[in-house]
Structure 1
Amino acid sequence: MCLKVGKEVTYLKRIAIGKLQLDEKLPVGSYRLLTDEEIEILKSNE
């Protein structure tokens, strides 16, 4: 998408998936299980 308009992406950080804000304190490459509330937030984005 960026290359199409002559821009190069050199760094990309996902901060949210739909309405779900991601935990910025979670180290790169790590993961954690979603809470029931977070799962419902993701389901509501459909």
Structure 2
Amino acid sequence: TSVHWHGIRLPAAMDGTGEVQQPIKPGEEFIYRFAVPDAGTFWYHS
């Protein structure tokens, strides 16, 4: 599992797509840390 964001400008390593980030396996954790530079309503999914 990973989290994929829509409409937010963020580092590629935080995008949650299989091309740039490995899945987070059961029992593992990954902390997403990034600044959101733009105000707005955005959505995400896993």
TM-score (norm 1): 0.26
Q: Which has the larger radius of gyration?
A: 1
Q: Point out the structure with the larger strand share.
A: 2
Whose relative contact order is higher, 1 or 2, with alpha carbons under 8 Å and at least 6 apart? 2
Q: Point out the structure with the larger helix share.
A: 1
